[in-house]
Amino acid sequence: MNRFRYIIKRLLIAIPTFLGITVLVYLLSSLTPSSPLEILFNDPMATKEQMAAMEKALGLDQPVYIQYLHWLGSLLGGNLGTSYRTGLPVASMIADRIGPTLILTGTAMAITIIISLPLGIMAAYKPYSGWDYISSGTSFVGVAMPNFFAALVFIYLFNVKIGWFPSSGMYDSSGVRTWGMFFHHLVLPSSVLAIQLIGSLIRQCRGSMMEVLQSDYVRTARAKGLLEPPVLVRHALRNAWIPLVSWFGMQIPFLIGGAVVTEQIFGWPGLGSLMVQSINARDYPAIMGITVVIAIVVLVGNLLVDLMYNLLDPRIRY
Amino acid sequence: MTKGAVSRDGREIAANSYMKDVIQRFSKHKLAMISLVVLVAEVLLVILLPMILKLDPYTTDYDTFFGAGPSAAHWLGTDDIGRDSFARFLYGGRVSLQVGIISAVISLVAGVPLGLVAGYYRGIIEMVIMRLADIFMSFPSMVLILVLVSVLRPSVSTVTVVIGILGWPRFARTIYGNVLSARESEYVEAARAIGTKDGAIMTRYILPNTFAPVLIAFTFRAAQAIITESSLSFLGMGVQAPEASWGNILYQAQSISVLATRPWLWMPPGVALLITILCINFLGDGIRDALDTKMVI
């Protein structure tokens, strides 16, 4: 019951945040130098009367806040408008692109966890050992490595030089689409996206494991003669998880920001590359739609992280 | 009168020895010291070298091939329209470092007063400001920056201002946390008791105590800003040609033929970016450890 009330409370907090983002996005796009009218009604022969009629039909003669409410209303009804660039409904464009982005970011997260946890735990277990220096070095370089430079280096090494992995798209141009081909194309972009996260997770993991390893219950576990692996996994890691989960939540915005750059370089057909294409084309309905969808993804992600926090740490009371 | 002089003297002595202590601790931090030297050298190089070698990053050299390889005249070759790549590399460094530092200053100037006011007055002001900070921090700033830059026109100054303004929440949060504890302290209570005005309490008593965390936040923010600017320029939405920045030099390497055949064009700015960020991060760590007098190095 308590947990249920907490979820409701969290949802209620998320609503004003969401509205805040929609207001911000709407204000930004209404600052654009060229009005939608000029873009949609690109006819030099049009008379003043025709322009005015069109303006009225589009609702552009209304005050800004009325226009905003109209937009918000249709947004909540699932209508994100029509793209200036492609003429397709923005909602269906986004629906096509969101899957690849979730797969890319999810894979990057998985790679991050698989690499960082062992390195971080080993570093904390034997501080100032060879392991610790390797993992600290990796984490410093990982954190400092700009995403796009990592992408260029990876493409240069693994595509241009040794030709192991393709550097662009989700499938090759043969028209055949297999899972094997898909994963083959996923390797480079997801590894690149993982690099910065790996650096940051190693640091976080080392820090929180160090703290836990000095705790009384770990000493007790050792004192009663448990072997080291169960002590590390069952006693230490289970407690070290808690700060790691909040790290998870804080990475969501970085993950999405990174996906924008990474998708663009690797021609990965996700939300990020759609965002860049829309911005290049000044396609404001698409830009606004994508931004709103990203906001929803972030809010849902944060909510899930909070719930996980609650499941992992029964001490948290609301 | 005498009492005041003595206490002022006392404070000066204390401040002096504290600073000495901090500098001593910092100089023991090897990585931070090396980083400081590298960063200073880098700044001097990008400022002085173009003047000494009389480099020109904007003019096409018609005497060589466009996209030529390294030679005595052009150390890093020329780009697609025959401009000297080495000159563009150095000028690009100027722009990248400048955007990083100035936008971090803007973030600081925007964030510090907000955090100060939120922590000092609490109540509704606190709620509004800190909730806004939460919203900004939970949303991918890269996406917001892209939208903003597309609405305004991308240029060095727009990019600097946009990255700067969107960096305020980190400073507001840092300050806010410190103000919350400082406002309950005895010296603030004493200041209030003798009738000091709120503004004076905030600027004279609370603000100086937040110097250390703000300085640390500043270094990390500058590193972040340099990465953001270069990512934007790399996407073609930051610094625009003919102006150079490390990010927009790398933009050319989006073409697979440049990437594959002319590594001397894109490797140097990329490596320079990596080294710069690495050094700023080490510097930040060093400052943090030096200012935290409880920690033993």
Q: Determine, for residues A260 and B263 on separate chains, whether the beta-carbon distance falls below 8 Å.
A: no
Q: Which of B131, B141, B235 sits opposite A253 (nearest CB)?
A: B141
CA–CA distance, B91 with A93 (Å, rounded to integer): 40
CA A227, A230, A232, A235 dihedral sign is: negative
Using a CB-CB cut-off of 8 Å, the residues of chain B touching A128 are: none
Q: Determine, for residues A21 and B278 on separate chains, whether the beta-carbon distance falls below 8 Å.
A: no
For A19-55, how does the pLDDT look when each residue is reduced to its tens digit (9 = 90+)? 888 888 888 777 766 666 666 656 666 677 777 776 7
Name the residue type at position B58. Answer: Y
- How many CB atoms are located within 10 Å of the residue B240 CB? 17
ipTM of the complex: 0.83
Q: Rounded to an integer, what is the distance from CA B37 to the centroid of its chain?
A: 17
Using a CB-CB cut-off of 8 Å, the residues of chain B touching A302 are: 138
What per-residue confidence (pLDDT) applies to B243? 87
Measured at the CA of A126, the angle between CA A124 and CA A131, to 5 degrees, comes to 90
**Both tokens assigned to A276:** 């860049």
What per-residue confidence (pLDDT) applies to A38? 62
For A236-293, how does the pLDDT look when each residue is reduced to its tens digit (9 = 90+)? 888 888 888 888 888 888 899 899 999 999 999 999 999 999 888 878 888 889 988 9
The pTM for the full model equals 0.86
Cβ–Cβ < 8 Å for A100, A266: no
Report the pLDDT averaged over residues A67-77: 86
Q: What burial letters (b/e) apply to A280-308, b meaning 16+ CB within 10 Å?
A: ebbbbbbbbbbbbbbbebbbebbbebbeb
What per-residue confidence (pLDDT) applies to A92? 92
Q: Which of A13, A18, A26, A152 to mutate to test the interface with B (most CBs of B within 10 A)?
A: A152
Q: Which of A149, A192, A305 to mutate to test the interface with B (most CBs of B within 10 A)?
A: A149
Tell me how close the Cα of A186 comes to any Cα of chain B, in angstroms: 19
Q: Digits of tens for pLDDT over chain B (297 positions)?
A: 333 344 444 555 555 577 788 888 888 888 899 999 999 999 999 888 888 877 778 777 777 766 677 777 777 777 777 788 888 899 999 999 999 999 999 999 999 999 999 999 988 999 889 888 888 887 888 888 888 887 888 889 999 999 999 999 999 999 998 898 888 888 888 998 998 898 899 988 888 888 888 999 999 999 999 999 999 999 888 888 788 899 988 988 888 888 888 888 889 999 999 999 999 999 998 888 888 755 443
* Residue A221 banded pLDDT, cuts 50, 70, 90: confident
What per-residue confidence (pLDDT) applies to B106? 97
- The gap between the terminal CA atoms of chain A, to the nearest Å, is 11
Per-residue pLDDT at A176 exceeds 90:
no
Residue (of A254, A290, A282) closest to A97 by Cα position:
A290
Q: Determine, for residues B259 and A160 on separate chains, whether the beta-carbon distance falls below 8 Å.
A: yes
For A125-169, how does the pLDDT look when each residue is reduced to its tens digit (9 = 90+)? 888 888 888 888 899 999 999 989 999 999 999 988 888 888 888
Cβ–Cβ < 8 Å for B265, B201: no
**Both tokens assigned to A264:** 């663009």
* Residue A109 banded pLDDT, cuts 50, 70, 90: very high
* Residue A186 banded pLDDT, cuts 50, 70, 90: very high
Cβ–Cβ < 8 Å for A304, A245: no
CA–CA distance, A258 with A256 (Å, rounded to integer): 5
Q: Which of B139, B219, B224 to mutate to test the interface with A (most CBs of A within 10 A)?
A: B139
What per-residue confidence (pLDDT) applies to B15? 53
Using a CB-CB cut-off of 8 Å, the residues of chain A touching B137 are: 253
CB pairs under 8 A between A and B: 118
CA–CA distance, B232 with B227 (Å, rounded to integer): 9
Cβ–Cβ < 8 Å for A306, A3: no
B236-241 CB contacts, 8 Å cutoff, 24+ apart: B236/A280, B237/A279, B237/B146, B237/B149, B237/B150, B237/B154, B238/B149, B238/B154, B238/B159, B239/B95, B239/B99, B239/B154, B239/B155, B239/B156, B239/B159, B240/B154, B240/B155
CA–CA distance, A298 with B268 (Å, rounded to integer): 36
Using a CB-CB cut-off of 8 Å, the residues of chain A touching B231 are: 146-148, 261
Strand partners, A272: none
